[in-house]
Structure 1
Amino acid sequence: MRKIKAQLFISLDGVVEAPDQWHFPYFNDEMGAAVDATLGQADTLLLGRRTYDSFAGAWPGREAAGGEDAPFAKVLGDARKIVVSNRRLDFTWRNSEQADGGPAEAAAALRAEPDTGAPVWISGSVSVVRHLLAAGLLDELNLLVHPIAVRKGMRLFEEADASVPLELLSCETFRTGVLNLFYAPAAGPGAGTYEDAKTHLPQH
């Protein structure tokens, strides 16, 4: 069974929209290595339509231009790209295909494939990440938390009745102050009250 993992750039106040407007001042060699260790090793990408359109509008041209980001662009081009959309899509970027069904159906089908040794990666595609978290189909969530409060734009976790408990797997702090956090789904924390908590307060 294949695992499905997601990587998102996110601000301190939870904004994931338009990272191109606030992310690049924090991109250093550590961030480059973090992205290369995930998307740079991917053989399969699961993407929402908006993220796919953004990628397809930029990366093929960068690969063709042969600049310093051309090798990374080639990795993305060579990867199988599965796109979730409610409408029928036409593709010009190689190795692209449309998912059958919505995010949950696409993820379930991918998880059922033989393990290739590499996970399926989601980049951006917030609606897809939300669906898979809610359905219990996301194996790992990599958040690159930037030390900036953007204060406008879509946030990863929208208001809802159900909580999303997560387990921290690892944490790394970059020189820029970015936190590289890896989470996995977790069981709920259980019941707790202030009466329980105050037993852990210092006793003076």
Structure 2
Amino acid sequence: MRPVTFGLNISLDGYCDHMTLNPGEELYDYFTSMMDDVDLYFFGRVMYQLMFPYWSDIAKDQSGTAGENRFAERFTAIDRVVVSRTLESVQGNTRIVRGNPAAELLKLKQQPGKKIAVDSVSMLPELITAGLIDEFNLVVHPVMTGQGRRLLDAGSLHEQLNLQLTDTIVLKSGAVALHYRKQ
């Protein structure tokens, strides 16, 4: 089966609001290198709409920094599935799935290919409960925001998920990239 990985930037106090974090060339390079092993992204509607058309415009216009441009080119080249009941259209190599994210991800996981990257906080508890997430890549930024979306809401998991730390990278910005695997 294909491995499924979840990756996200997060503040030290557990919030996932991308507007409060300060990326940088090193962070873009880190996430770009992670995409070498990924051939499918699995999004929720909100994250998809945050990412597109923003990154596809940067890839097309080369309007970002060198790191942003490399990230945008690689990111937009990867096939995508977006789970949404309301989204009417998507762009490029994206298809819409209307229901049951866990069943759809299980089907995709059973197909041949590289890793599937999940990029959706809203579906995370359901996908963890279904046993579908194999790896977690969290980049913890040295900032406390005190507001925003939490990685997991209280009571959203039915049982504890134990993980094994497999890699740690300290970035020059002070952010720490943590790679965990399910035990």
TM-score (norm 2): 0.87
Aligned letter for 1:39? M
| CA positional deviation for 1:179 | 1.1
- Consecutive unaligned residues of structure 2, counting only runs of 5 or more, are none
Equivalent residues in 2 for 1:27-106, closer than 5 Å:
27-29=24-26, 31-39=27-35, 42-67=38-63, 68=66, 69-87=68-86, 89-91=88-90, 93-99=91-97, 101-106=99-104
Q: Aligned equivalents of 1:130 and 1:181: distance in 2?
A: 19
Seen in structure 2, the aligned counterparts of structure 1 residues 94 and 110 have a Cα distance that, compared at 3 Å, is: same
Q: Does 2:159 align with 1:162?
A: yes
8 Å Cα contact 2:85-2:98 kept in structure 1: no
The AA in structure 1 aligned to 2:71 is: F
C-alpha distance in structure 1 between counterparts of 2:154 and 2:104, whole Å: 25
Would you say 1:144 and 2:142 are equivalent positions?
no
1:196 alignment partner in structure 2: none
Q: For the residues of structure 2 that align with 1:129 and 1:78, how far apart are their CA atoms?
A: 24
Determine if contact 2:84/2:98 at 8 Å carries over to the other structure: no
Work out the CA distance in 1 between the residues paired with 2:164 and 2:42. Answer: 23
| CA distance, structure 2, for counterparts of residue 14 and residue 65 of structure 1 | 34
Could you say what the CA RMSD is over the residues aligned between the two structures, in angstroms?
A: 1.9
CA distance in 2, matches of 1:41, 1:144: 18
In the TM superposition, residue 177 of structure 1 has moved relative to its aligned partner by 1.7
- Partners of 2:28 and 2:55 lie apart in 1 by 16
Residue type of the partner of 1:150?
T
AA paired with 1:162?
E
Pair 1:129 & 2:124 matched: yes
Q: 1:88 to 1:23 in 2, by over 3 A?
A: closer
What corresponds to 1:2 in structure 2? 2
Say if 2:21 and 2:141, in contact at 8 Å, map to a contact too: yes
> CA–CA distance in 2 between the matches of 1:109 and 1:89?
23
Structure 1 position 121, deviation (Å) = 1.1
Contact between 1:100 and 1:106, CA under 8 Å: does it hold in 2?
Answer: no
- Greater Rg by CA: 1
CA distance in 2, matches of 1:14, 1:180: 14
Q: Could you tell me the TM-score, scaled by structure 1's length?
A: 0.79
In the alignment, which of 151, 157, 173 is matched to residue 176 of structure 1? Answer: 173
Opposite residue 180 of structure 2, the aligned amino acid is Y
Consecutive unaligned residues of structure 1, counting only runs of 5 or more, are 187-204
Is the counterpart of residue 14 in structure 1 residue 11 in structure 2?
no
1:189 is matched with: none
Alignment size in residue pairs: 178
CA deviations over 1:168-197 (Å, ceiling 9, x no partner): 1221222222111011223xxxxxxxxxxx
Return the structure number with greater strand share.
2
